[in-house]
Amino acid sequence: MKIYLALLGCVSLFFTAILKAEIVSSEKTSGVELSADWRTPKAESVLLMQLDSGRVVIELAPKFAPNHVANIKQLVSDGYFDGSKILRSQDNYVVQWGDPDEGTEQARSIGKANSKLKVEFFADHSELNFAAIESRDAYAAEVGFVDGFPAASDGKRAWLAHCYGMVGVSRGMGDDSGNGSGLYVVSGHAPRHLDRNVTLVGRVIKGMPLLSSLPRGTGDLGFFESAEETIPIKSIKLATSLGDKSVSLQIMDTNGAAFKEHVAKRTTRSEEWFLEPTGKIELCNVGVPTR
Amino acid sequence: MKIYLALLGCVSLFFTAILKAEIVSSEKTSGVELSADWRTPKAESVLLMQLDSGRVVIELAPKFAPNHVANIKQLVSDGYFDGSKILRSQDNYVVQWGDPDEGTEQARSIGKANSKLKVEFFADHSELNFAAIESRDAYAAEVGFVDGFPAASDGKRAWLAHCYGMVGVSRGMGDDSGNGSGLYVVSGHAPRHLDRNVTLVGRVIKGMPLLSSLPRGTGDLGFFESAEETIPIKSIKLATSLGDKSVSLQIMDTNGAAFKEHVAKRTTRSEEWFLEPTGKIELCNVGVPTR
């Protein structure tokens, strides 16, 4: 619902009530919200990050980064992130978290997890149910969605795209310098130049504002400069460890009819408010509705 | 400088120091920072928004929206925004401000300003020094920069583009329902579908984090639901009213050699950190360096 309301944007406060009523009514008559159009994320692929301010829900993408996802789940099972910190908040870019002592003698143990993993970018296009959208993309020949995740492709290989809310694995130099003990989420305009350069492992499906509205770090790259500045993470748990009811939200099936209609609406912008509807759409402007 | 550092993104905390040193040194040797490559915004086109948390600096774009810019300057001269409020903060979209009582009996007087203005989108391409960039854009045939502002074009008409930090005029239904008494700034992924649908009047050139990191509004569209939730604006002043020294920052000249090199660097991503440099760039990922 929030996604639909966002279509309206930029109306003056004075007109909000009128426009809102209009959109809600057009949504009701569309009649596309069949239960078959929605899916509940599998609990085994869902992480719950608990902050003092609330809960952030992350859906993992094992099809694209199986080794990283397995490693992150191992770390999470071992409580690696419980009591860890948000370390960085860079305006219009990313929010990053992990162990503030990583690389020092005080570093947390990563237990049975792998300390190095080779980057994982690609899945075989022919093995995916790639829901392509019509869009002239700056970075890739084809773009669309795979299982709710924004993705790009050259026709043979497919890879996840750095849209707002996508979660990736921090790394240093080299293609095996990350392991999932440090993670980040895109909190600004999509930095698509990072596609195929950093391993993406999932997407925040609820609670993004808790991360995106954090104060920006005062250090270079938005790193928090002092222990006081960092934000505590109470815990990151697997949804499976908290019972089935821990994932109560649903995500629109990006291979369903309702999503096709959603993309069409976001492309045509036929609402009366628009003076010159664009008729175009860009991958990271599509958004995947949740309820 | 911050823009260059941002190139690095997503490095683990452990590696930050190393990478940072590398980039700074490559910047020093590039030797492109000639004073001719930078410009100081004209004080008559600069607004200073004073919040409790600090100052936001906005450069206006009279070439594209002369009537709106004149009207906004009139409102600002009359103190219209002094003591006004930030009314809305919608995640990954916009922050909007103005008179919370607009449309009611308690509304502030707009004085000599026009109460209605027809939307202003276009400038004549042939009369602009349009610095095009090579980019396959989802929304327009040509994209680039005009006087530091991201812009798009069909070859004949040019218009401003809704990149992060761009400032626009809130409007209701119809093409003359805005006047500049309500303004918004793009605080998330570029909502380019708003191009040619809302009048853009300028760009935040300093202080964006003060707006983008505000708590999100709890109402529909991110509107603040109560007077307590709204954020006070102490004042919005013309830089000319505060003396020449009020604008101390410089912006890279988007028609200069340094900017050409900046775009090339952001496109090629030849730093060692990148495994598979993209070789592509998208308009709103270019960024215009300030110092």
Query: What is the ipTM metric for this complex?
Result: 0.90
Residue B227 exposure: Cα atoms within 13 Å on the Cβ side: 4
Whether B73 and B113 have beta carbons less than 8 Å apart is answered as no
Chain A contact present for B282, CB below 8 A = yes
| Cβ within 8 Å of B, A 208-267 | 208-209, 212-216, 220-221, 223, 266
Mean pLDDT of all residues in A37-59: 96
Beta strands B54-60 and B122-124 are unpaired
Cβ contact, residue pair A172, B19, below 8 Å: yes
CA distance B225 to B219: 5
B62–chain A nearest CA distance, Å: 20
Tens-place pLDDT, residues A182-240: 999 999 999 999 999 999 999 999 999 999 999 999 999 999 999 889 999 999 999 99
Cβ contact, residue pair B172, A11, below 8 Å: yes
Chain B contact present for A269, CB below 8 A = yes
Give the position of tokens 């400032």: B167
| Cβ within 8 Å of A, B 27-46 | none
What are the residue ranges of helices labelled H in A230-288? 257-268
**A chain contacts of residue B184, beta-carbon cutoff 8 Å:** 10
For chain B, which ranges sit under pLDDT 70? 1-34, 244-246
- Report the amino acid identity of residue A223: F
| Cβ within 8 Å of A, B 50-79 | none
Chain B contact present for A137, CB below 8 A = yes
**Residue B86 to residues A215, B27, B69: CA-CA distances in angstroms?**
17, 38, 20
**A chain contacts of residue B282, beta-carbon cutoff 8 Å:** 138-139, 190, 192
Cβ contact, residue pair A11, B171, below 8 Å: yes
Specify the pLDDT at position B246: 67
Mean pLDDT of all residues in A6-24: 33
Q: pLDDT class for A15, splitting at 50, 70, 90?
A: very low
Q: Which of A94, A119, A193 sits opposite B285 (nearest CB)?
A: A193
Q: Which of A9, A216, A266 sits opposite B209 (nearest CB)?
A: A216
Residues B54, B58, B59: CA angle, nearest 5 degrees: 150
Q: Is the pLDDT of residue A103 over 50?
A: yes
Chain B contact present for A161, CB below 8 A = no
Specify the pLDDT at position B28: 36
Q: Which of B192, B213, B274 sits opposite A282 (nearest CB)?
A: B192
Q: Which of B93, B139, B172 sits opposite A9 (nearest CB)?
A: B93
Specify the pLDDT at position B285: 98
Q: Which of A103, A171, A285 sits opposite B192 (nearest CB)?
A: A285
Among the listed residues A70, A51, A87, A47, the one whose alpha carbon sits nearest the alpha carbon of residue A182: A87
Chain A contact present for B278, CB below 8 A = yes
Residue A166 exposure: Cα atoms within 13 Å on the Cβ side: 32
B74 by Cβ neighbours in 10 Å (0-12 / 13-18 / 19+) ranks as middle
**B chain contacts of residue A154, beta-carbon cutoff 8 Å:** none
Beta bridge partners, B169, equal: B183
A254–chain B nearest CA distance, Å: 20
Q: Is the pLDDT of residue A12 over 80?
A: no
Q: What is the reported pTM?
A: 0.90
Tens-place pLDDT, residues B50-101: 999 999 999 999 999 999 999 999 999 999 999 999 999 999 999 999 999 9
- Count Cβ–Cβ pairs < 8 Å, chain A vs chain B: 246
Cβ contact, residue pair A171, B215, below 8 Å: no
Chain A contact present for B109, CB below 8 A = no
